[in-house]
Amino acid sequence: MPPRTRRPQRRTDALSRERIVETAVELLDTAGETGLTFRALTERLATGPGAIYWHVANKGELLGAATDAVVAAAVTPGRSEPTAAAEPTGSAEPAADTAGSPTAQTAPGSPQDRIRRVALGLFDAIEAHPWLAPQLAAQLSRTPWGSVTPRIFESVGRQVRALGVPEGSWFTATSALVHYVLGAAGQNAVNAAHGRALGPGLDRAAFLDATSTAWEELDPDDYPFTRAVAAQARDHDDREQFLAGIDLILTGITVTAAGHTPARAEE
Amino acid sequence: MPPRTRRPQRRTDALSRERIVETAVELLDTAGETGLTFRALTERLATGPGAIYWHVANKGELLGAATDAVVAAAVTPGRSEPTAAAEPTGSAEPAADTAGSPTAQTAPGSPQDRIRRVALGLFDAIEAHPWLAPQLAAQLSRTPWGSVTPRIFESVGRQVRALGVPEGSWFTATSALVHYVLGAAGQNAVNAAHGRALGPGLDRAAFLDATSTAWEELDPDDYPFTRAVAAQARDHDDREQFLAGIDLILTGITVTAAGHTPARAEE
DNA sequence: ACCTGAACACCGTTCAAGT
DNA sequence: ACCTGAACACCGTTCAAGT
């Protein structure tokens, strides 16, 4: 039972699917995956469960809508997330990019740059919303015809096309990139989870340290490689690492498109 | 309430953590993610919930153990899964490989081959156990110091080392491969889900067809690329596609290791 | 040490009833 | 058309009690 700091009634604007999804994202961000319940939702929205069920079919659909909303915001360039803010988005200026590059209407830079930007967008979204990673996996494996997969696929695929990849390889190249991004982002989501399972005050660096320490304590006979690499794991930078992987795949794509295919040719 | 086809008591051998985990995997395979409940578990094991809680801390730990058991069986070469079988594994011969290659004590073939084999092992495990994909994501993002990540990491990493990659790139190259495998396997898990959300009788091919049809019906203005690629998506082979992605990354790794790094150099 | 099973708090969902 | 809120079936987990 949380303290009654929140005013129990805010009947200002009417209930809407959008407002419900918005509140769901808030709840997920604040209280984690287990924090999204219909009771918490009804309390925040000052209604009964029936009202929510009029706008939303069930909890699964609500989770899907929340996932889609966050992904859409992350993948659409120049749009910041309106999730946490209660007021509708006006003409908000895009936040300053950490890379220093301006965000224009048509994204600037080489196709490689734009792929990196899309990938980092998703990466950061998962870091900001740790519940997104397993949700994304569940979403994708259940309904790939939903709106989440095409959204990501489209953003990446356009740049693959711009890269000059022959049409016959579009699907393969785009799939490889998307799968990598989802896998890597999912794995790295933990770094933003505020030490849920670790106790408070254990931040990102301490967490990495704990992980690589755990790896160093593995059985030398069973895990020689993982132990040897534990040191590298300790002081790696997530985003750099993530981008290095993107570059590895981009290299593979461009080299393969040029007709070399050394991975198979070597054998 | 299922019909009483199962004998309600099978008090043959004593309860054990292993037997509980085994039954959990059975339940997950049979009834899906929602099928694993403590009631179903107690019914199958003919005990009370307290007995289970004596061997297992909570449901999360049980899910983790089930995930680890399946991953271990998939990643360890020459070991088939003992999950569905009730009798303890004796000296079972490895099942015939679909690729026709014999399974020796030390896995044969080039490092590339062995990487493909490990990757396919996980791929097939996720296909056989559709609940594994989101579970893996949840597992990895919560406790990367657990046993699942090192297991996968070690199997892939040894082959990366054998590939002749310089030590400074071990972590990056292995991470890229592991992330891709997890992302791709998760996404493809759906193809083995027996049309849970689609109704019975809708098999793999029909499912792919439905997906690409959905993609073809997307808005032409918003999704030109995805629409253009829908046909390729329709008749692609999952495993081929998956391996093509692996090869793309292997190409990137070997080319980058040779000092070219064309992805960044090109700009 | 290992197991039993009633009991508890909580959850998603439904639905007759209101406006 | 949109919302209310009591009620239902079910869930994970606990714990005093047994052997």
pLDDT digits (tens, 9 = 90+) for B185-203: 777 655 554 444 444 444 5
Nearest to B140 among A186, A249, A260 (CB): A186
Q: Per residue of chain A (267 residues), what is the pLDDT tens digit?
A: 333 333 344 445 689 999 999 999 999 999 998 999 999 999 999 999 999 999 999 999 999 999 999 999 998 765 554 433 333 333 333 333 333 333 334 568 899 999 999 999 998 998 889 898 888 877 776 666 677 888 889 999 999 999 999 999 999 999 999 999 988 877 765 555 444 444 444 456 676 777 788 899 999 999 999 999 998 888 788 889 999 999 999 999 999 998 765 555 444
Assess contact for B211 and A225: CB atoms under 8 A: no
Q: Is the CB of B60 under 7 A from strand D?
A: yes
* Residue A109, Ramachandran bin (φ over 0: left; ψ between -120 and 50: alpha; else beta): left
Distance from CA of A86 to the nearest CA of B (A): 27
Residue B257 corresponds to which amino acid? A
Comparing A33-47, B49-63, B70-84, the range with the smallest average pLDDT is: B70-84
Question: A30-34, B132-136, B177-181, B243-247: lowest mean pLDDT where?
Answer: B132-136
On chain A, the residues whose CB falls within 8 A of the CB of B193 are: 141-142
Task: Report the residue of chain A nearest B33, measured CA to CA.
Answer: A138
Asked whether the beta carbons of A232 and B170 are under 8 A apart, the reply is yes
B234 three-state secondary structure: helix
Which tokens hold the place of B111?
């490092």
Burial of A14 (0-12, 13-18, 19+ CB in 10 A): exposed
Q: Which residue is nearest to nucleotide D6 (CA to C1')?
A: A48
Q: What per-residue confidence (pLDDT) applies to A116? A: 95
Confidence band for B130, pLDDT divided at 50, 70 and 90: confident
CB-CB contact of A257 with A250 (8 Å): no
Stretch B15-33: mean pLDDT:
96
Which of A76, A169, A179 to mutate to test binding with chain B, by most B CBs within 10 Å of its CB? Answer: A179
Q: How far apart are CA A230 and CA A216, in angstroms?
A: 6
The structure tokens listed for A8 are: 């129990």
Quote the minimal CA–CA distance from B156 to chain A in Å: 9
How many whole angstroms from its chain centre is CA B251? 24
Q: For residues B165 and B167, give the distance between their C-alpha atoms in angstroms, rounded to a whole number.
A: 6
Q: What is the pLDDT of residue B143?
A: 65
Under a CB-based contact definition with an 8 Å cutoff, are residues A134 and B137 in contact?
yes
Handedness of CA B134, B54, A217, B79 (dihedral sign): negative
d(CA A49, C1' D5) / Å: 8
Give the angle B76-A247-A238 at the CA atoms, nearest 5°: 70
Closest Cα to residue A252, out of A238, A240, A264, A236? A264
Give strand letter and number of the nucleotide nearest A36 (CA to C1'). C11
Identify the pLDDT of residue B231.
87
Whole-prediction pTM: 0.80
Q: What is the pLDDT of residue B65?
A: 95
Residues of A in contact with B32 (CB under 8 A): none
pLDDT in tens, B199-225: 444 456 676 777 788 899 999 999 999
State how far the Cα of B174 lies from the Cα of B166, in Å rounded to an integer: 12
Cα(B173)–Cα(B23) distance, rounded to whole angstroms?
Answer: 37
Buried-exposed string B66-105: b where 16+ CB fall within 10 A, e elsewhere: bbbbbbbbbbebeeebbbeeeeeeeeeeeeeeeeeeebee
